[in-house]
Every structure is written in C-alpha cells, then in structure tokens.
Amino acid sequence: MDELCYRDGEEYEWKETARWLKFEEDVEDGGDRWSKPYVATLSLHSLFELRSCILNGTVMLDMRASTLDEIADMVLDNMIASGQLDDSIRDNVREALLKRHHHQNEKRLTSRIPLVRSFADIGKKHSDPHLLERNGILASPQSAPGNLDNSKSGETKGNGSGGSRENSTVDFSKESASWHCSCGTLGVGLKRPAVDMNFMRKIPTGAEASNVLVGEVDFLERPIIAFVRLAPAVLLSGLTEVPVPTRFLFLLLGPAGKAPQYHEIGRSIATLMTDEIFHDVAYKAKDRNDLLSGIDEFLDQVTVLPPGEWDPSIRIEPPKSVPSQEKRKIPVFPNGSAPMSAEPPKEAAHHAGPELQRTGRLFGGLILDIKRKAPFFLSDFKDALSLQCLASILFLYCACMSPVITFGGLLGEATEGRISAIESLFGASLTGIAYSLFAGQPLTILGSTGPVLVFEKILFKFCRDYHLSYLSLRTSIGLWTSFLCIVLVATDASSLVCYITRFTEEAFAALICIIFIYEALEKLFHLGEIYAFNMHNNLDELTSYTCVCAEPSDPSNETIELWKRKNVTAESIVWGNLTVSECKTFHGMFVGSACGPHGPYVPDVLFWCVVLFFTTFFLSSFLKQFKTKRYFPTKVRSTISDFAVFLTIVIMVAIDYLVGIPSPKLHVPEKFEPTDPSRGWIISPLGDNPWWTLLIAAIPALLCTILIFMDQQITAVIINRKEHKLKKGAGYHLDLLMVGVMLGVCSIMGLPWFVAATVLSISHVNSLKVESECSAPGEQPKFLGIREQRVTGLMIFILMGLSVFMTSALKFIPMPVLYGVFLYMGVSSLKGIQFFDRIKLFGMPAKHQPDLIYLRYVPLWKVHVFTVVQLTCLILLWVIKASAAAVVFPMMVLALVFVRKLMDLCFTKRELSWLDDLMPESKKKKEDDKKKKEKEEAERMLQDDGDTVHLPFERGSLLQIPVKTLKYSVWY
C-alpha cells in the first residue's frame, strides 16, 4: 500500500506502506521493514464506506491502455464528463497520480549495507527486472480451487500518487509452476529499479497486479474514487515493487485531514481483492452492480467482534490451514433454501476406488493394473530426481538393515543355522529389487513379519520331530503358497479389500506401530542384561575386584568339538592369559567379583546406550520438524528436515566414535555364502522327504497364504488411502502377484519370505511427502501429495544387497542408535491415526476437547463405544501376536472385518460415515448409479455451460463466475 506523503519535506511521493499476497504485511514505522504476515482485520464502517465509494465513484471495466499516463487521462476524462471532478484541478490531480513511487525495498537496497546481517539474509541477491525476465524462479504450485488463464494468474498492488497506494494482489493459476515478481520505481533520478528477490519468489509466473492508490491532497474539496479493470493487463513500470502486469487499479484521493479513513478504505478493497469469491466477481463483473453484489456477499460472510471484547492492535496469526470457500458458491433459492445439505461432503458408499472393482474375467484386475501403471513407468524414474529421494534412501536403508539382520539372526537360532542373516539380506535385496521394479505400488517397503518367524519355528520343530528335511518341506509349502497367491490374483480376490475399512486399518496399523515401539524399548532393556551394571560397589575395595578367564567346569559337546577343530585341549590353553574375546571364542567362563554374565562389567556401556537411544529419537523428531522453525532460509530448513534421520545417525555415530565407549555395533555378514556349508542356493522341493509331503504341504500353505494376503493388502490399503493424494493409481493385484512370484523364488533358493512391512512403508511415504515450496507470506506450506517413484525402494534394496561389501563402514553404527530410529518410526507413524485421538477424549473434559469433525455429528458416548470396541480388538490382537498362537494372527485380523460389520447394528450409517468408512452393500452398483445421477444434477445447478457458477447476492442478481479462474490476490 502506497500513501501520498512528503519526501524530505519538499514534494509529494507515493510511499509503500502495505501489501497483500494472501495475508497483510505492513511497513513498520520504526523498524523500516515488512511486518510479519497477519490476518487483516477491518472495521465494518470502512467496508460500508468502500461500498459507497463503488456506488458513487467511477467504475471503468476493460479499459485498454498501455501506460499510467493514458490510464490517468482516461480516468480523469470520465470523472470530468460525469461531473465528479472539476476541470480546473485536472492537472493537479494528474500530477499527483504520476508522482514518483517509493518502495520499501529501495531504501534497503540503495542505502549503505549494514555491517551486521542476519545469517538468513546472507547469500540473498537482488537484480533488476530485465534479468528477472530471463531467469525464472521456480516454486511449487499453490492449491487453488480452480484454474486460471495466464493472463489472470495474479494481482499485485501498485503505487499511486497524491494519496496512498494501498493494495496490490497477485492471482495465479493452479497449474502455475513458478511465481515471477519484481518491482521498480517510476521517476527521474533513480538509476536502476530495485527488486525484492525474496518476495519475488512468492509470486507465480503469469501473475497480475491490482494496484490501490489512496491518499489526501490539499486541492480537493471532496473525494474522487475510481475502480479500473484493464484488458489486457499491462506492465506499468515502477508502479509495483515487482514487475507484474497490472489488471486492476483503485484510486481514492480526498481532501486533507482524513488520511486514516482513506487508509482503512484502501485496506478494505485490498482485503476484498484477496478474497477468493470477490476476486472472481471483479474479474467477471459486467457493470457496477456486479461489484456491489460482490461486496454485499462479502458483508454477508463477515464476522463482527464487538469493541471491548478484543484488542484491535493485536495481529492475528495466519491459520495453519485456510478453510474452503466452496460453501459460498452454493446457490441459494429465493426462499432461502439450498439444493445441498450444509453437511460436509462424505464418500457416497465406501473408500474403494476403481482398482478394487471386480472384473469377472480371469486376471482381469491384473490386466487393468498393468494398463493403469504402464504409462507411468518411465516417469517413476524421472520423478526421483530430487534431493528428497536421496534422503529417503539413506533413511530407509539404515532403518531396514537392522530388522532384516535381526530377523535373520532369530531365524538362524530357530532353524539351527539353516537360514540366517546372510540369507535374510540376500532374500530382502532380491525380493525388494524385483518388487520395486515391477509392483503396482512401489512405495510399499517389504520386510519380515513376526507371524512368519513363528510359522518357521513351528515348521522346523515339526520337521525335527518327524525326521523330515526342513528346507525341502519349506520349499514345497512356499511353492504352494506362491501358486495360491497367483490363484487369488487370477480371481480378483483383492477386490475383497474394499471390506477393510478404516476400523480395521487403524487397528492393524496401531498394533504394528506399538510393536515397533515395544520392541525398540525391549531391545534397550535387553542391553541391560548383556551389559549389566555392577551395583553397590565399595570403591575403597576397587583394587580387589578381578575378572579372569577360567576353564569351563562342565564343557558341552559343542565346546569339545570346537577345541578339536582348533587342535587344542583344555590343559594346553593358558586360560588366565586370554583376552575377553579369546575367552568367549574358546567358550571359557569368567570368574571374579568384577565379572558379569558375559564378561567383565563395563558400567558405562548401558548408560551410554540409553543416551544414544533417546538422543537419536529426540534429535530425529526435532530435525524432522525443523522445516517449521524460524531459523535459516526455507531451502536449508527443508533440506535438514528431509535428511533428519540420516543426519541424526551420522551425528550419533560420530559422537559414539569420539566418546569411545564400546557400545554394541551393527553386525553384517562379511562373506556371501550360505550360513550352513552343507546347503546350496537351490533347494529341491522333495529332497529326502517322502513324495506325499508335496501334497500335504498344501495344508499349511493355505494358512501361509492368508498370512501373506492380509499383511500385504492391509498395508497396501493404508498406503493408497486418499489422504496421501496419490496420482498414479494403485495396483493391488499386481502387488500380490509380485509378492507371490518372489515368495516362490525365495523358497527354491532357501531364503526367508518377505511381505509388505506396515511401519516401514508408512515411514517411506512420510519421507516422500511433497509440500508447496513457495507460498504466500504467512501461509503454511500445503501438502501436495507424495513423490511417487520406484527409485527409492530400488536403491534401498540394492544397497542392502551390497551391505556384505560395506562392513568396514557399517560396523561403526551403534545398535542403540538404530533402536532409537525404530522408536521414532513407530511414534511418527502413529500421527494421523484417528483411533488415538479418540482415546485421548476419555480423560478430557468437554470444554477442552478439540473441535473434531465427528464430534459435531456423533454423540460423545457413541464415539466412546466405537473406541472401546476398537481398543478391545487391538488388545486381543496384541495378546494373540505375543503368544504361541501368533501363527493365526492373520485370521484374527480378518475377524476384524466381521466385527466392523456387526457394528452396523449399533450405529447408523451417518454415524459410521464420520467415524469410519462405509462398507459396500449388496446393491452397491444401483446405489452408486443413483448417487452419481444426483451428483450430476447438482453439478448442473452449479454450472452454466460447464464453465460458470451462479453466486447469490442480496441485490437479487446472480453473477456468473468461471470456476476455472479462481485465484489468490496480492495487494500493495
């Protein structure tokens, strides 16, 4: 906003005082800087005065002019012709309008450079508008509720003379990829226009300006007002601080003594032009009455705060999310009724998309998945050209390594070395690479699951008891399971996933997250057993504490065999001279008051592990939220946030190395060869087993198939939810096919089985969230979607396969650091789960409860009932998964679908639509067709020729506004 004022006490000039991109920014008098963006608060009186100005002033729409001189002449001619302006003062008014414009950034750029600068400003450069025309600044598009033509993508407020130039708005297209903005000054004596590059990055390419000029002069007896819309928009050099073509001009000059009043009117028109609805009214208005109708509609929506109830000098912080204005576009009939319910729109039937519709043809769903995903195959690699993807690779690689190796170790213990860590690494890498290349949803990360480990234990014990070959029988079961998965793909069985609603998803996801958190803490406590702390020591007797290696009192057969292989005997070993590692190698025993169960006490290790564990968790959380902090430029904050977990791991590894305390480190196999020397990489499905085992294997394969199907598809549903705004579609059938095929390959090669890992997949998606890089000052970055590509998953599993060649680097990673990463993933994955929000309501008084949307439409006691049922199911799942019956865990997850179906008897469909997804009905297609027809009829009421909507106003007129030209506005 520019106001007419004296320069050096001699002559008038337009001085910039405020601007609006989305929120208001003022030039602070004492600070000589732009204020923090805030929500503009207007007086009701100034709005009525503005309406009076439009009603009685000059309104010129679609004026064709190329310079400010021409605009001034045409406006003054119109005013004189209509009797609003006396011809005798025409020259005075014209001279005032064409006064020099002084922008806020001019003083900063042309004055002496200060000796002390903020670190956030270092590196910022400024340029002239000619350079800006050659060099665009890219920024992510803002989500606007419509599309704009390039000529109408923005508004910026310009400076006027003889008054205060108050507003400039910038409109931008929804498809705009960048904002382009610069500013200069008009007049003699300025050698080069000054450009605020920082602000320029906020404005999209193709933006247009709305300039408001308001102020007071001493030669007018009554105010003169003009509202001008140019066609086409024109770049008026020096009018705005950034080179943006001007579309609108608002002029208000009046007699001296009423500057505050003019100032408030200017703020009012600036705020109106940043309003989504009035902005479109201004673009499509045909006459003065349309503008008045737009003001009336705005006044209908205004909320008035009574004086004395709040302090007008307090600036309101911009909201984290701006509410949608779609309700204001709904037409109102003369009787005051609306064609639609005021209730927010909900999904008509259920959450299932076209990917889950049954085709009725053999492999019909798979064929559609391939057709849906094939066009995006190349883009899945091109879209990975981002620093964010590198951060995701480094984070997930570290996060996936430990569970895969740990799972391999546990599997090695359960199978006596038949399948161990090296097979786990190789299997994860092989399966993950194939899945990332050809699956329908490559954002899913494959991993090992607890029920699979329980199944392997039961199978190995069965084979040992009945003297069967474990690896051969396991191969038979794996091949049957692979075949059954392919049968499920052929019959479109994945369409049954539509019955898995949010109720089941959240219970399953919450359980997996809690397991991650529990296991991370359990592993930390387990370190307390290995590195026990020797309590109640008498430091005065420290010299008497000893710990020496001694011959085992009762050596086992395994120990004796070890001595024989090393050609030593118990008598030939000098036990007292052995180091700790040598004593463990020869299976010696530790004797002495300073000994723990695994060797000498090292009291610092346990406490250091605790420090590493919790520091990793808190530092990861802090750095991940660094994007919202107030320090450093946006790009730096964004990069730190993307690399949060990897930076944390690097920092903690460095600290651990410098401190030097022998904390437990990640152990990776050093040679690529089977753990069991007696086995190879190809396993026969029959081997030494009887022929009938090939047939009997189909029975446990049924249970294994259910396990794979439920784990895979529930995770896929969570990843593919609409909240993630995925644009490339899902591929449930293709995903299951790849898992089934690779399960068969891993079975033949004697490798572990891998399926979708819920927490790892959620963490992968969260690490690839895309937010608007450039937004209006004060506006929160908007979630735009997920960076959908195949490269991150592919590189994660390639690196995992190469890990056996990177042991020299990986051996420095402390295990407590990885446990801290698990805790971070488990806690961060809980965010956004409605189930936990509802649990917190139990201990929260009604007056302190957040304004959750379902609390508006569902009684609180019913919300509690729904939560109790879900919590009970979660506890039962936990008990089953932690018991010996964990192998039937998938069946219990499937049972949640039936529990949810029974809840239809206790809750209405309307209540369930707010608390959960509605399950598909038997007459779904008929109902969908009916709702689709109703929706089309409603859309026809909202549209005219498919391009306009009708907005009701108090004056009784209906103004047609194109839906595709919705814009934001910025006023200077």
8-state DSSP, 948: E
More confident: 923 or 388:
388
Structure confidence at residue 508 (pLDDT): 77
Average pLDDT over residues 157-166: 38
Task: Tell me the pTM.
Answer: 0.65
Peptide bond into 232 cis (omega under 30): yes
| CA angle, 220 then 224 then 225, to 5° | 160
624's tokens: 């991940």
Structure confidence at residue 776 (pLDDT): 65
Where would I find the beta strands (DSSP E) of 29-160?
Answer: 33-34, 58-63, 101-102
The amino acid sitting at 108 is: R
- Flag the least confident range among 43-47, 597-601, 902-906: 597-601
Q: In this structure, are residues 302 and 47 in contact, taking their beta carbons and an 8 Å threshold? A: yes
Structure confidence at residue 917 (pLDDT): 66
Q: In this structure, are residues 705 and 485 in contact, taking their beta carbons and an 8 Å threshold? A: yes
pLDDT digits (tens, 9 = 90+) for 358-409: 777 787 888 888 888 888 888 888 888 888 888 888 878 877 777 777 777 6
Rounded to the nearest 5 percent, the helix, strand and coil shares of the chain are 50, 10, 40
pLDDT digits (tens, 9 = 90+) for 884-905: 666 677 777 778 888 888 887 8
Q: pLDDT-derived band of residue 536, with 50, 70 and 90 as boundaries?
A: low
Judged against a pLDDT cut of 50, whether residue 156 lies above it is answered with no
pLDDT digits (tens, 9 = 90+) for 236-274: 877 777 788 888 999 998 888 888 899 899 999 999 988
Neighbours of 48 (CB within 10 A): 14
More confident: 71 or 324:
71
Average pLDDT over residues 878-882: 78
Collapsing DSSP to helix, strand or coil, 469 comes out as coil
Structure confidence at residue 932 (pLDDT): 60
Average pLDDT over residues 142-169: 36
How far is residue 702's CA from residue 708's CA, in Å, rounded to a whole number? 10
pLDDT digits (tens, 9 = 90+) for 29-40: 765 677 888 888
Where would I find the beta strands (DSSP E) of 93-245?
Answer: 101-102, 164-165, 209-217, 224-234
Neighbours of 15 (CB within 10 A): 22
Judged against a pLDDT cut of 70, whether residue 190 lies above it is answered with no
Q: Give residues with Cβ within 8 angstroms of 391, minimum separation 6.
A: 642, 643, 644, 646, 767
804's tokens: 């056996």
How far is residue 32's CA from residue 9's CA, in Å, rounded to a whole number? 19
How far is residue 204's CA from residue 263's CA, in Å, rounded to a whole number? 28
- Name the percent of the chain lying above pLDDT 70: 77
Average pLDDT over residues 167-171: 45
- Name the percent of the chain lying above pLDDT 90: 3
How far is residue 933's CA from residue 396's CA, in Å, rounded to a whole number? 46
How far is residue 209's CA from residue 248's CA, in Å, rounded to a whole number? 7
Structure confidence at residue 149 (pLDDT): 35
Q: Within 13 A of 381's CA, how many CA atoms are on the CB side?
A: 8
Length of the chain: 972
How far is residue 787's CA from residue 427's CA, in Å, rounded to a whole number? 27
Helices (H) and strands (E) in the chain, counts: 34, 21
Structure confidence at residue 226 (pLDDT): 92
Average pLDDT, rounded, for the chain? 75
172's tokens: 């931008």
Structure confidence at residue 292 (pLDDT): 92
How far is residue 706's CA from residue 836's CA, in Å, rounded to a whole number? 28
Alpha carbon 35 to its chain's center: 29
Judged against a pLDDT cut of 80, whether residue 788 lies above it is answered with yes
pLDDT digits (tens, 9 = 90+) for 437-472: 888 888 888 887 766 777 777 778 778 877 888 888
Structure confidence at residue 537 (pLDDT): 67
Structure confidence at residue 331 (pLDDT): 61
Backbone angles phi, psi at 251, to 5 degrees: -120, 130
C-alpha distance from residue 183 to each of 128, 156, 186, 200, 450 (Å): 8, 10, 10, 9, 62
Q: Within 13 A of 700's CA, how many CA atoms are on the CB side?
A: 20
Which of 146-150, 632-636, 861-865, 920-924 ranks highest by mean pLDDT?
861-865
Sequential DSSP letters for 9-65: TTEEEEEE-EEESSSEEEEETTTTEEPPPBB----HHHHHHHHHHHHHSEEEEEE--
Alpha carbon 76 to its chain's center: 52
Structure confidence at residue 53 (pLDDT): 92
Judged against a pLDDT cut of 50, whether residue 227 lies above it is answered with yes
Structure confidence at residue 558 (pLDDT): 79
